[in-house]
Each structure stands twice: as structure tokens, then as C-alpha cells.
A and B are shown apart, each in its own frame.
Chain A
Amino acid sequence: MRKNISPAVLICGLFIWLICPKNLNAKQIVCPVCEISSIKQAIEIAAAHDTLLIKKGTYKEFNILIDKPLTLLGENYPVIDGEDKGEIIRIESDNVTVDGLFIINVGTSYTADHAAIRVVKSEHFVIQNVVLEKLFFGIYLEKSNNGKVYHNKIIGDAVNEYNSGNGIQLWYSHNVVVDRNIVQGTRDGIYLEFSDNVAIKDNISSNNLRYGLHFMFSNDDVYTDNVFENNGAGVAVMFSKRITMHNNIFRKNWGTASYGMLLKEIYDAEITGNTFEENTIGINIEGSNRIKYRNNEFANNGWAIKVRGACYANTFENNNFLYNSFDISYNSKVNDNVFSQNYWSGYTGYDLNNDGVGDVPYRPVKLFSYIVNRTPETIVLLRSLFMDIIDFSEKVSPVFTPDNLVDAEPLMKRAE
């Protein structure tokens, strides 16, 4: 390829570079002892498409408004201290990049959602390598599309839901990529409202007060390879359509009102290859239709799946249910969902023709689980001998549990 570039082109390029070297990509240097010692001042001076190189130091500033396409590049993580006075950076221009800053002390307010970085009605923004601490809201995208939130670390110290904010919040923001972020100790780790076509990948969301990831009225979103650990509830997906959930790990969302995943009014979603481990309730499903559950692993949960009602035409295939206290809890006698070719660790049937599929159908709903649904207080009889006996008799001749709620082809070995 190199041979194809003629000397003429080279000379021409050199000429252009000589004529306008600085206007294209000027660099403004900001440091506490420099000529330009504040970020606000630097933004004022800068021309569009400039890069502001912010040197190491502490900048006590808030309400920094970026209203032209700029790149804010931090060197060795300069600290921007908002001193709890309010919002810190507000972006109101397209093509803004914020990179490598350490932002602390966002003001808490009960009337305004102060954020460390807020993007308003802007496109093509990139927010990366930013560390946020002592925050109210972290990164707040408001009607901003086609951007990227990449490799940030958000560490909150939220104690109460009413006076804490979300780590990363998207509001009416479409086509955004949220990738490799670490969010902990906020209210909702990542929150999406009215945001479509968002891709959420490789994030770790843990120890958040409410949800690790929360969808509201957001459609066609994808989240893959994320880890949700020890949150109030791992992921809450509500009132959304066509959400794809792949290869995520939901772990240790354990407590009296905790879930791995909470589905409410979800249609046509796909849940595949996820791992649900040690959650009080693996998936809590309410009013959700046409969802495909495939190749998921449910291990050591209290309830693997709790179906609350109005759930139709869902299919559960090739999932592994391993050592959960209850595999499925179901609150009605009508069943329109299909369970097929799953592996159940509680299965005691046999496989005479050795085709890997058990010859006796498996009934995942135990009588005890049915009783607990009716009268929640009866849970105090958990692990009592009497319950084991009636579970056994129900297994032999089902009376109370839905007749057609069976896995007619239970696997003998764990699904891959």
C-alpha cells in the first residue's frame, strides 16, 4: 500500500499540515499553577474540537458547562471536587469526550438530580476512564444518543434509597453503549428509562441498594456478560419489549426481598446462558409473555423461578436446575408455559433406553411450594419431615399442583 502513495500527495499533505497545524486539534493545558488554572476558564478560551489536557491536581469547581465539541483529557487522574455544591460537568454539545478524570463530592439535592457528568441533548459523546466517588447521580444521559460510556468506575456510599442516586442513568437516550464499567454502592447501578437499542456489556454492578440494572419502558436493549452481585435485586426489567439477556451472572442477591432478576410486563425477551447462583429468588416473573429461557443455570437459589401470574407462552428449555430449595413456584392451576428438556437435580426417574432423556416426566412444582404460595406463613415448616412426606405423596399422585406443568423430557445429565 505504501508504494502507492505518490510523493505529490505527501508534499500536499505536508503543506496542509504546515498551514493549519493548531486550528485542527489545539491542546490547551490546564494545571493548578498554570496560566489557565481552572477548567471553566479553559473551556471558555478553547475553540471547538480542542483538547484540554488537565494535569494532576485538585480543581474545586462545579457547574462546568461544556457547550462546544471538546475533549477533556485528564493526566494521572486530576481531581475535580464539587464540594457538595451541585452538578459538576454538564455537556450540551455533540462530539464531547471526557477521559480520565476523578470526580468527587457531587451535591445531594431533593429537588434536582445533580450528576457528576450530565449529557443533555447531545450526540456522539464518549465518557471513559472516569472515576466517580461520593456522588449523588453518576453519569446521567438525558435525550442523548449514539454515545459511549466506557470503562468507568463509580463508587457510591448510598445508605438510603430516598437520598441516593443512580450510577449510570439513561433517560430517552438511544443507541448508547455501556461497556466495562464498575458500579457499586449506588441506588440503581445502571438505570434505563425510555431508552432503546442500548448495549450493556461486561459491566460489574454490585452492592447497590436497589437494582444492579433497571429497565423501564425501554425496548430492544441487549445486555451480555455482566455480573450482578449482592444488590437489593440483580436486574429489574419492567414494561419493556424485546430485551436480550445473555451470559450474565446473577450472584448472591440474598435477602428477604431480593431477586436475581425481576421481570414485570416483559414481552418477547430472550434469556439465555445466564447463571443464577445463591439468590433468594432466581427469577421472579409477573405478567411476562413469550419469553425464551434457554441454557441458563439455576444453582442453590431459594426459589429458582417464581411465577406470579399472567405469564403465557413462555418456554423453558435446556436449563439446569441445581439444588434449589424450590425449583418452580406457581400460583395458579392454569399453565400455558412449556418446560422441556431441562436438567433437574431433584429428578429421580430412570432412562431405560439410554437416550439421555428420562422416561418419567418431572413435576417441578412441589406441593409445599403450592401451599406456601397460598399461605405464606406455612414457610415456617420448611424442612420439616411432614412436608417431605406430603411432597412425596403429591409426587406419586398429583392432586393440587397444575396437571400439565411437567417436563415430559427431563434430561438425565446436565445440559451443556
Chain B
Amino acid sequence: MLKILKYSFYDLMRSRWSYVYFLFYLVLGFVLLFLNNDLSKAVITLMNIIIVLVPLIGTIFGVMYYYNSKEFTELLLAQPLKRSTIFLGQYFGVAGSLTLSLVLGLGIPFILYGLFRSDAIFNFVLLLVIGAFLTLIFTALAFNIALSNENKIKGFGYAVLLWLFLAVIYDGLFLLSLIIFEEYPLDTFSLAATMFNPIDLSRTLILLKLDISALLGYTGAVFKKFFGTDLGLIVSLAVLLLWTVLPVQRLAFKAKRKDF
């Protein structure tokens, strides 16, 4: 598996898109810090971008890479290799290179602007960890979709729809249900609803770590009681981990049975 991972990783590292992605974050980081020297405020702005963009890029990249390297995959399948090795290797290659672009692209400007001397370091590290998780999750979901759909157009369509659902539509439904059932106590419901969507979970996790959480009022207090503790943080990270592991499991499972 490591060999395939290495191959996919270097393949992507050589590709233009990885550089573009890396440069994008590099420029973004520098511009943000140039416009606003306050590290902790830059973290807030960055959060807005990360929770929308990282899943989108992860999804599109994952689908694209799968379809593009299909011929090579078929070649590999003819070799005496385990299927899960091939697909997981490719998956980790893609997800790894995307994560590396994100971490380096944002890390370099922040370190240059004195991250280690700032107390925003914990928030920033949390942001990067969440960014990495979102990349892993959405790339895995994208691989799943691509594996289940031979038709490229359909695959792309589903992938974009998935992103749209989790980033936008889910919140819309969430909002609607909150308004419709406003007569009922909704704290546990909103807590659960947040847990079921990795994007919402990431957003809430970061918001509560920043002092903006005072805005959340009573509901925020309930949230803070849960997410604000170490246990809450561990549970949330565990849920994110679960979100990563489950699609990867399905990927391995599906790959074994698929007829090429």
C-alpha cells in the first residue's frame, strides 16, 4: 500500500493543481495577515473559508483523481495486489497531498507572522486539524461516489450535490426544523443535528473555541457545556474520526466486490 500511496502522492505533488492549491492558501494566509495583523481575527476569517472551501476542493479533487487515474488503476488491478491496498493507497495519496498543501500553505504565513509567540496557536492548530479532517472526510466520500458511479458526469453531479447538501441544504433544513419546532426544547436536537454534519461540527467546534461564543446566548451555553470541555472536544474529534473511518471502510469493502 505504501508504494501506491507514495506513487499517488508524488504524482499529485508533481501535478500543477497541488501547487495551485498550495499557493492559494499561501497567498490567502499572507493577504489575511497583511490586511489584519491580528492573528486571532485572521483565524476567524480563515475558519469561514476553510469550512466551505476545504470540503469542496476535497470532493472535486477526489472525484477528478479517481476518474483520471482509472486506466492506471485497471493496470494495477492486473497485478497481484490486494484491492484495498490499491484504493486506499490512492485515497491516502490524494488526501495526504491536499492536507499537506493546506497545512503548509496556511502554516508558513502564520509562522512568519509570529504564531509561536501568540496565544492563538491552539485555535490555529485546531483549525488545521479540522481542515485536515474535512479533507480526509470529503475525499473519502468523493472516492465512494466515484467508485459507485461509472458515469463521470453522474459521479461529478453526485459529488457536488453532496457538498451542496452538507454545506448549505443541511443548514437550511436544520433552520427550518428549529423554526417549526420552536415550541419544544431544542438543545439536544441541535446538538445532535450538529454532530451529524461534519461541516457544522467543525464550525461549532471552532466558534466555541473563539470568544465569539458569548454571542450564542442560552443555546450557546448548552453547547459550550458540551463542546467547551475536554470531553466534548474528544467526543467531537471522535465523531470526525468516525466520519473519516466509515467512508474509508466502505471504500475498501466496495472495492473488493466491484467488477471492473
Residue positions of A touching B, CB distance < 8 A? 254-256, 258, 280, 302-303, 325, 371, 374-387, 389
Contact status B214-A377, CB under 8 Å: no
Bound Cα distance from A371 to B179, whole angstroms:
8
Contact status B175-A379, CB under 8 Å: no
User: Which residues of B lie under 8 Å from residue A385 when comparing CB positions?
Assistant: 51-52, 167-168, 171
| Known interface pairs A256-B220, A376-B218; 5 further A-B residue pairs with C-beta atoms within 8 A, sorted by A's residue number | A303-B215, A377-B187, A380-B194, A381-B175, A385-B167
B71 within 8 A of A: no
Contact status B215-A325, CB under 8 Å: yes
User: Which residues of A lie under 8 Å from residue B167 when comparing CB positions?
Assistant: 385-386
User: Which residues of B lie under 8 Å from residue A256 when comparing CB positions?
Assistant: 214, 216-218, 220-221
Contact status A376-B214, CB under 8 Å: no
Which A residue's beta carbon lies closest to that of B213? A256
Bound Cα distance from A381 to B168, whole angstroms:
11
Chain B min CB distance to A124 (Å): 45
Bound Cα distance from A382 to B47, whole angstroms:
12
Which B residue's beta carbon lies closest to that of A278? B211
B223 within 8 A of A: yes
Most chain-A Cβ atoms within 10 A of its Cβ — which of B204, B214, B223? Answer: B214
User: Which residues of B lie under 8 Å from residue A280 when comparing CB positions?
Assistant: 214-215
Bound Cα distance from A258 to B203, whole angstroms:
24
Which residues of chain B from 154 to 197 have a CB within 8 Å of any chain A CB?
167-169, 171-172, 174-175, 178-179, 182, 186-187, 190, 194
Q: How many interface residues does chain B have, given as a range?
A: 20 to 34
B48 within 8 A of A: yes
- 8 contacts across the A-B interface (CB closer than 8 A): A254-B214, A280-B214, A378-B175, A379-B219, A379-B220, A380-B220, A384-B200, A389-B168
Which residues of chain B from 214 to 260 have a CB within 8 Å of any chain A CB?
214-221, 223
Which residues of chain B from 68 to 114 have a CB within 8 Å of any chain A CB?
none
Contact status A386-B171, CB under 8 Å: yes
Chain B: interface secondary structure? helix
Chain A min CB distance to B79 (Å): 43
Which A residue's beta carbon lies closest to that of B167? A385
Which A residue's beta carbon lies closest to that of B47? A383
B212 within 8 A of A: yes
Which B residue's beta carbon lies closest to that of A387? B171
User: Which residues of B lie under 8 Å from residue A378 when comparing CB positions?
Assistant: 175, 178-179
Most chain-B Cβ atoms within 10 A of its Cβ — which of A255, A258, A302, A383? Answer: A383
Bound Cα distance from A380 to B52, whole angstroms:
17
Contact status B215-A381, CB under 8 Å: no
B115 within 8 A of A: no
Bound Cα distance from A385 to B216, whole angstroms:
17
User: Which residues of A lie under 8 Å from residue B169 when comparing CB positions?
Assistant: 386
Bound Cα distance from A89 to B76, whole angstroms:
93
Contacts A256-B217, A384-B171; A377 near B190 (Cβ below 8 A): yes
Bound Cα distance from A381 to B215, whole angstroms:
12
Residue positions of B touching A, CB distance < 8 A? 47-48, 51-52, 167-169, 171-172, 174-175, 178-179, 182, 186-187, 190, 194, 200, 203-204, 207, 211-212, 214-221, 223
Nearest 6 pairs of A and B residues by beta carbon: A386-B171, A302-B215, A375-B182, A377-B186, A384-B171, A377-B219
User: Which residues of A lie under 8 Å from residue B178 when comparing CB positions?
Assistant: 375, 377-378
User: Which residues of B lie under 8 Å from residue A255 when comparing CB positions?
Assistant: 214
Which B residue's beta carbon lies closest to that of A301? B215
Bound Cα distance from A385 to B47, whole angstroms:
11
Contact status A381-B174, CB under 8 Å: yes
Bound Cα distance from A382 to B48, whole angstroms:
11
Chain B min CB distance to A383 (Å): 6
Chain B min CB distance to A58 (Å): 42
Chain B min CB distance to A115 (Å): 34
Bound Cα distance from A385 to B199, whole angstroms:
10
Contacts A383-B48, A385-B52; A377 near B182 (Cβ below 8 A): yes
Bound Cα distance from A374 to B179, whole angstroms:
8
Contact status A376-B172, CB under 8 Å: no
Bound Cα distance from A131 to B215, whole angstroms:
37
Chain B min CB distance to A325 (Å): 6
Contacts A374-B182, A384-B203; A379 near B215 (Cβ below 8 A): yes
User: Which residues of B lie under 8 Å from residue A380 when comparing CB positions?
Assistant: 190, 194, 204, 216, 219-220, 223
User: Which residues of B lie under 8 Å from residue A325 when comparing CB positions?
Assistant: 212, 215
Bound Cα distance from A377 to B223, whole angstroms:
11
User: Which residues of B lie under 8 Å from residue A384 when comparing CB positions?
Assistant: 171, 200, 203
Contact status A382-B215, CB under 8 Å: yes
Most chain-B Cβ atoms within 10 A of its Cβ — which of A325, A375, A380, A389? Answer: A380
Chain A min CB distance to B158 (Å): 20
Bound Cα distance from A380 to B167, whole angstroms:
14
Most chain-B Cβ atoms within 10 A of its Cβ — which of A258, A374, A377? Answer: A377
Which A residue's beta carbon lies closest to that of B224? A256
Chain B min CB distance to A6 (Å): 72
Which B residue's beta carbon lies closest to that of A386? B171
Contacts A256-B217, A380-B190, A385-B167; A375 near B174 (Cβ below 8 A): no
Bound Cα distance from A384 to B48, whole angstroms:
8
User: Which residues of A lie under 8 Å from residue B220 when comparing CB positions?
Assistant: 256, 379-380
User: Which residues of A lie under 8 Å from residue B211 when comparing CB positions?
Assistant: 254
Bound Cα distance from A385 to B170, whole angstroms:
11
User: Which residues of B lie under 8 Å from residue A389 when comparing CB positions?
Assistant: 168
Bound Cα distance from A376 to B216, whole angstroms:
9
User: Which residues of A lie under 8 Å from residue B182 when comparing CB positions?
Assistant: 374-375, 377
Bound Cα distance from A358 to B186, whole angstroms:
42
Contact status B215-A386, CB under 8 Å: no
Contacts A377-B182, A377-B186, A385-B168; A371 near B175 (Cβ below 8 A): yes
Bound Cα distance from A81 to B86, whole angstroms:
81
Contacts A380-B190, A380-B219; A258 near B214 (Cβ below 8 A): yes
Contact status B217-A376, CB under 8 Å: yes
